[in-house]
Amino acid sequence: MQSEILLRWIVLVPLLGAALNGLLNRRLSKQISGLLACGAVGVSFVMSVLVFLRLTGMEPESRLVQDTLGTWMHLGAFRVDLTFAMDQLGAVMALVVTGVGFLIHIYSLGYMAHDDGFQRYFAYLNLFIFAMMTLVLGGNLIMLFVGWEGVGLCSYLLIGFWFNEDANASAGKKAFIVNRIGDFGFLIGMFLMGTTLLPHLGAGEGVFNFQVLHAHAGVLAPVATAVCLLLFVGATGKSAQIPLYIWLPDAMAGPTPVSALIHAATMVTAGVYMIARLNFLFVLSPTALAVVAAVGAVTAIFAATIALAQNDIKKVLAYSTVSQLGYMMLACGVGAFSVGIFHVMTHAFFKALLFLGSGSVIHAMSNEQDMRVMGGLRTRLPITYATFMAATLAIAGVFPFAGFFSKDEILWKAWSGGNTLLWAIGFLAAGLTAFYMMRLVVLTFFGENRASSEVRKHIHESPATMTVPLIVLAVLSLVGGWIGWPHFMGGGSWFEQWLEPVFASGAQIGAHGAHTGVATVDVLVQNAQMNHAAAEALHETGVEWTLAVVSVLWAVLGLVLGWFVYYKRATIADGFKKAGGGFVYRLLLNKYYVDEAYDAAFIRPGYRLSRSVLWKGVDAGLIDGVLVNGSALAVYLFGSVLRLFQNGMIRFYAWTFTIGVAVFVLYLSFSS
Amino acid sequence: MEGLLFWFCGGFLLLGGLMMVLQRSAVVSAVWLVFAFICAAGIFAVLGGVFLAVMQVLVYAGAIMVLFLFVIMMLQGPVLEGERKLMPVGMWPLIAVPPVAVLLLITGYLRSDATVAFAAAPPAGFGTVEAVAGLLLGRYLLAFELISIVLLVALVGALALGRGERNQPWK
Amino acid sequence: MEITLTHYLVLAGLVFITGMVGFVVRRNALVMMMCIELMLCAVNIVFAAFARLHGDGGGHVFVLMNFAVAASEAAIGLAILVEIYRRRRTVNVDDLKTLME
């Protein structure tokens, strides 16, 4: 079969699954429903692999498979095609999304087995895969945006999945609204891009097509900073960066596999993907890249500190996700897009594993999420413990786990780009990551079990449908990073090489811009060169070795400290709480009071405005008073006049009829 | 001769109409209407429509008015109780408004000298049975056929209504 | 005095007014229907007068059509009246006020 045609089915098969599950719902038995959903994603995964294999057989420069279903919109010069395209970047994302998605579907079979909304859950989950695949395989920015909104919708639906609890519904709404703020920026950025580009297009060129955007990147150079910053606003919403990260921790109200799939592994990386996809645009604006890098770095350290003090196991992981997303943004911001995507991939493995592991724990603990009443689960949940440990080592960045390769690479790019400050922040956050992850592990798996005896009786290892995905992901967390084994360690940086054609041209545009006087990023030019000769030169200096060793040691130090503080000398942990009069601890526990600050700054004034002006003034006064009651009054008055004519007297009707005829005749005779 | 006939027939036509309106008994009204119709037949004859005049007498004054008289006989005693009282005097001006307006228009029209005279004589064969039949089955064949359908529907409708509710086939 | 088209039109107008006024002032539904016939007759006169003016028999055809329409209307109208009378025992339109509801 032609592999072009496979592309549409990669996207549409999950939609089919969603439609079947969503429409037939309870009429399907749980077995069939689960089979359908997992099968749809599995088929999608297999097809992704097939297309990927076809890509590997192509010349590195021309690796692109396109599938056009037709024209979606065509208005004058504005044209949008229904195109799916898979290049190296799309292939990586597609494999990660469908692969991890498939594992999480399998896991969900076990996790959601006793839930009433089983079919609805899988309908949403399949719909999510559909939207996410539209996002990563869309051949133009509009398709990407459709997927972007689609995953937002699924996220909302799944956060509020157990909607009969108020808090869950509120969390869903919060996620949706905060994302809308980001999307607002995204849309404005797209409009700006479109209006700038439209006059320069040739015939038949779809304005938002990525290739067209790429070819005309020079035209966009004057507005690149504005466009990129606006798009980045969208990315901060979707990828939970400062200042719009606040929805992600609350999003943990959804089922845990959802947290793993949507709010850790795939959807939240959409912002990173979007920036990587539009790398040729971002390299035109050093300002925008600097902002991306700075926001990423600050988010990384900021969220990591909050994670230190959280007691909810999923909240810790949520802030950890925010922090790791900061890393990805940092990588993109210093121009190392391929490394950012690399971290997206490895993070998808180990963070999905962490969430699924926590799901397994929560499952065993009868839906208890507070780590303070856990502990000692190591012996009771051996598989969960072992896999969780693997993920912890991976996220901490211990060699040779996956996280080491990507995180070390990010820090190295920051360092080699001359951004010592960014490197320092990232480095510090890495240590914190190791520390709070160890805290989590210790509180959950070590020590005495602090649960009530009732709960303790029910602690059991999860069924095979849940442990098998855990094991697969654990293996991936270990070996998944090896495809990016760096040059200096004798590897080939294969991952980077694979993505190079996607980003090299972006770097060229940047370099070209430098020559033609367009402001550009020196770092980028450096990076572009570094990929080849410079990398060898730096390799000899041993700096890279040194940094790698230091960061591994730093991670191990963080782990050991975490172990020591929370296991060996628990008094020290109590001491932390009291340090600085307990102020620091309370600050962290309450997440720097950011939610409260937003509440005071935006939400309460919004309420007040709504209450006084919009409700009392506009709604009650204008709409109810003038429009609704006013129109009713007008109709009443008119009717009370008309009612005089409706008296049932045929002769009266005839009389009015003759009057009408008389008037008509008189008018005709006098008007001529 | 033509003028004399016009005044004669026209005058009695108006008289017949007025008497029909003014009489309280429906039967008397109907008889005055027959009288008016016969006068109208005279007007048609003056205008050269000999066939029309014949039809007016046969169909209108004959068939239709006989139908009216039958129904009156079936439904109505001599004088309807409500017809004994006149309209309240306050209503008269109101009722007078349309006719007065049209009368004003007519008088204004008469003063304007905008009279249109007929040709000296109508074309040969004008208004004869042959001429009308030629038109009816030639130029106006479609209308002729359609009007036959109208008559048929009216026939069926009148039958259906006249059968009375208890005998309706759908009951 | 020569008889012109205008004479016939005025005559037709007067006959029409008579029918119109009769329709408004009479309470007997049967007489009201007769008034309608009178108005139709006025119209027929206008048709015939214009046929004479143009020397075209088309006007006569329309008068015949009017006869058919008048006959249909009389048949249906009278049938309805009979039905009303069966139910209400009256043909006085002032007593038939159900149109108000």
pLDDT bin (cut points 50, 70, 90) of residue A517 is: very low
CB atoms within 10 A of CB A550: 13
Quickly list DSSP for A498-547.
HHHHHHHHHHHHHHHHHHTT----HHHHHHHHIIIIIHHHHHHHTHHHHH
Domain residue extents for chain B = 2-78+95-119
Between A518 and A18, the higher pLDDT residue = A18
Tell me what pLDDT residue A541 has: 59
Computed over every residue of chain C, the mean pLDDT equals 87
Tell me what pLDDT residue A318 has: 92
Check B98 against A666: CB less than 8 A apart: no
Share of residues in chain A with pLDDT > 90 (%): 35
Check C51 against B17: CB less than 8 A apart: no
pLDDT bin (cut points 50, 70, 90) of residue A519 is: very low
Tell me what pLDDT residue A509 has: 63
Computed over every residue of chain B, the mean pLDDT equals 84
Task: List chains touching B (3+ CB pairs under 8 A).
Answer: A, C
pLDDT bin (cut points 50, 70, 90) of residue A521 is: very low
- Average the pLDDT over each of A257-271, A519-533, B64-78 and give the range with the smallest value: A519-533
pLDDT bin (cut points 50, 70, 90) of residue A584 is: confident
Distance between CA atoms of residues A87 and A279, nearest Å: 14
- Residues ≥6 apart with Cβ < 8 Å to A58: A64
Instruction: State the amino acid at position A431 in one-letter form.
Output: G
Comparing C-alpha atoms, which of A227, A221, A219, A218 is closest to residue A188? A227
Distance between CA atoms of residues A600 and A597, nearest Å: 5
Tell me what pLDDT residue B80 has: 64
Distance between CA atoms of residues B152 and A310, nearest Å: 91
Three-state helix/strand/coil letters over A225-258: HHHHHHHHHHHHHHCCCCCCCCHHHHHHHCCHHH
Over the stretch A96-145, which tens digit does the pLDDT of each residue have? Answer: 999 999 999 999 998 888 888 899 999 999 999 999 999 999 989 999 99
- Average the pLDDT over each of A521-525, B21-25, C5-9 and give the range with the smallest value: A521-525
Over the stretch A341-375, which tens digit does the pLDDT of each residue have? Answer: 999 999 999 999 999 999 999 888 888 888 888 88
Which residues in A lie closer than 8 A to residue C25 (C-beta atoms)? 651
What's the mean pLDDT in B57-83? 80
- Residues ≥6 apart with Cβ < 8 Å to B138: none
Over the stretch B23-32, which tens digit does the pLDDT of each residue have? Answer: 888 888 999 9
Tell me what pLDDT residue A341 has: 92
**Whether residue A187 has pLDDT greater than 90:** yes
Tell me what pLDDT residue C69 has: 92
Check B60 against C67: CB less than 8 A apart: yes
What's the mean pLDDT in A35-41? 93
Which residues in A lie closer than 8 A to residue C27 (C-beta atoms)? 651
Give the 3-state secondary structure of residue A79.
Answer: strand
**Whether residue C38 has pLDDT greater than 90:** yes
Looking at CA atoms only, how far is residue C75 from chain A in angstroms?
20
Say how many CA atoms lie within 13 Å of A203 toward its Cβ: 0
Looking at CA atoms only, how far is residue C98 from chain B in angstroms?
18
Tell me what pLDDT residue A56 has: 87
Interface of A with B in 642-671 (CB under 8 A): 655, 658-659, 661-663, 665-666, 669
Tell me what pLDDT residue A94 has: 93
Which of A506-515, A572-581, A617-626 tops mean pLDDT?
A617-626
What's the mean pLDDT in C30-50? 92
**Whether residue A159 has pLDDT greater than 70:** yes
Share of residues in chain A with pLDDT > 70 (%): 93
Over the stretch B128-159, which tens digit does the pLDDT of each residue have? Answer: 888 889 998 999 999 999 999 999 999 998 88
Tell me what pLDDT residue A657 has: 85
Computed over every residue of chain A, the mean pLDDT equals 85
Question: Beta strand pairing status for A78-86 and A65-75?
Answer: antiparallel
Pick from C93, C98, C101: which is nearest to A651 by CB?
C93
Distance between CA atoms of residues A100 and A112, nearest Å: 17
**Whether residue A195 has pLDDT greater than 50:** yes
Tell me what pLDDT residue A520 has: 46
Tokens for A69, please give them. Answer: 């279903």
DSSP-derived letter for residue A199 is: G
Pick from B2, B20, B161: which is nearest to C38 by CB?
B20
Tell me what pLDDT residue A580 has: 67
| Contact (Cβ atoms closer than 8 angstroms) between residue A66 and residue A119 | no
CA distances from A574 to A31, A67, A445, A449 (A): 49, 59, 19, 19
User: What ipTM was reported for this prediction?
Assistant: 0.90
Looking at CA atoms only, how far is residue A667 from chain B in angstroms?
10
pLDDT bin (cut points 50, 70, 90) of residue A623 is: confident
Which residue's structure tokens are 């609350």? A250
| pTM of the predicted structure, to 2 decimals | 0.68
Which residues in A lie closer than 8 A to residue B106 (C-beta atoms)? none
| Contact (Cβ atoms closer than 8 angstroms) between residue A562 and residue A434 | yes
What's the mean pLDDT in A571-577? 73
pLDDT bin (cut points 50, 70, 90) of residue B34 is: very high
Tell me what pLDDT residue A512 has: 56
| b/e B40-67 (16+ beta carbons within 10 angstroms → b) | bbbbbbbbbbbbbbebbbebbbeebbee
Question: Choosing among C9, C10, C16, C20, which should be mutated to test the A contact, i.e. which has the most A CBs within 10 A?
Answer: C20
**Whether residue C87 has pLDDT greater than 50:** yes
Chain C residues within 8 Å of chain A (Cβ atoms): 20, 23-25, 27, 32, 93-94, 96-101
Residue of A nearest to B95 (CA): A655
Which residues in A lie closer than 8 A to residue C98 (C-beta atoms)? 648
Topology of B2-78+95-119 in CATH?
Four Helix Bundle (Hemerythrin (Met), subunit A) (1.20.120)
Tell me what pLDDT residue A524 has: 52
pLDDT bin (cut points 50, 70, 90) of residue A489 is: confident
CA distances from A561 to A442, A572, A580, A584, B147 (A): 11, 11, 20, 19, 106
What's the mean pLDDT in A219-238? 90
Tell me what pLDDT residue A634 has: 92
Distance between CA atoms of residues A258 and A115, nearest Å: 14
Comparing C-alpha atoms, which of A201, A159, A156 is closest to residue A183? A156
Tell me what pLDDT residue A5 has: 82
Residue of B nearest to A652 (CA): B95
Distance between CA atoms of residues C11 and C14, nearest Å: 5
What's the mean pLDDT in A520-540? 50
| Contact (Cβ atoms closer than 8 angstroms) between residue A349 and residue A477 | yes
| b/e B113-150 (16+ beta carbons within 10 angstroms → b) | eeeeebeeebeeebbbeebbeebbeeebeeebeebeee
Over the stretch A371-426, which tens digit does the pLDDT of each residue have? Answer: 888 888 888 888 999 999 999 999 998 888 888 888 888 888 888 877 888 889 99
**Whether residue A308 has pLDDT greater than 90:** no
**Whether residue B91 has pLDDT greater than 80:** no
Check B36 against C38: CB less than 8 A apart: yes
Tell me what pLDDT residue B148 has: 93
Give the 3-state secondary structure of residue A72.
Answer: strand
Tell me what pLDDT residue B165 has: 61
pLDDT bin (cut points 50, 70, 90) of residue A37 is: very high
Over the stretch B92-120, which tens digit does the pLDDT of each residue have? Answer: 887 788 888 878 777 777 776 666 777 77
Tell me what pLDDT residue A66 has: 87
